[in-house]
Amino acid sequence: MSDNVHLIDHPLVGHLQTEMRSLDTATDRFRSIAEKLGAILAYEALRGAPSKPHTVNTPMEPYEGVQLAGPITIVPILRAGMGPAAGMARLIPGSQVGHIGMFRDEKSLTPVSYYVKLPASIAQGVVLLVDPMLATGGSASAAAHVLKQKGCKDIRFTCLLAAPEGIERFNADHPDVPITTSAIDRQLNEKGYIVPGLGDAGDRIYGTVE
């Protein structure tokens, strides 16, 4: 595995991502797990994020602690990225949220961009780019390009499931952007879906059927 990919190896994560994949898992539970895994991904991806000294008074005496430095911006790739992003936003103090709208053309499998709205100070801090699925890698790679065009330097990509093909493509396009994932699956099928996978992440989070 490339040094730029961090696979979270933890029994709780293993349990949650296994439950999420199951056909027996209903929409509300799927969405809830996506949020929980989002928080865990954010926790892992923020290792080494800049912090600054911050002193508080405990009931006993002053304590010289730390505070996250600079804005932390969560950027879900719409629409499925909104699931894990919700868990990230609850976890990270003072976080802000940008949105990049992108869907995959079902025939060509290339990303189609339809919306970009980002906080003004995004380039001043860490950006957590999040999408449940890294399949061909086209959507994540295009979204990272958008962020770089806005001047973002510290981008960290997070996903629930990654295919080896997507990792290879993303690493080639963005060797400077680390990937944190809760699972690496076997391969893509002929329709560009991750197998064993979990199906269509957006449909499973929102209960829609194509």
Rounded to a whole number of angstroms, the minimum distance from the CB of residue 193 to ligand URA is 4
Residues 157-176 that bind ligand PRP (CB under 6 A): 166
Backbone angles phi, psi at 149, to 5 degrees: -60, -25
Q: Which residue in the shown chain puts its C-beta closest to ligand PRP?
A: 202
Rounded to a whole number of angstroms, the minimum distance from the CB of residue 91 to ligand PRP is 21
Q: How many residues bind ligand PRP (CB under 6 A)?
A: 23
The reply to whether 173 sits near ligand URA by the rule CB under 6 A is no
Rounded to a whole number of angstroms, the minimum distance from the CB of residue 198 to ligand URA is 7
Q: How many residues bind ligand URA (CB under 6 A)?
A: 8
Place of tokens 């396009």: 173
Query: For residue 71, with 0-12 CB atoms within 10 Å meaning exposed, 13-18 middle and 19 or more buried, which class applies?
Result: middle
Query: For residue 24, with 0-12 CB atoms within 10 Å meaning exposed, 13-18 middle and 19 or more buried, which class applies?
Result: exposed
CA distances from 125 to 68, 69, 151, 201 (A): 10, 8, 11, 28
Candidates 25-33, 49-57, 62-70, 133-141 — which segment interacts with ligand PRP by CB under 6 A? Answer: 133-141
Rounded to a whole number of angstroms, the minimum distance from the CB of residue 156 to ligand PRP is 17
Nearest one of 62, 33, 68, 64 to 48, comparing CA atoms:
68
The reply to whether 185 sits near ligand PRP by the rule CB under 6 A is no
- 8/77 with CB nearer ligand URA: 77
Nearest one of 73, 72, 138 to 103, comparing CA atoms:
138
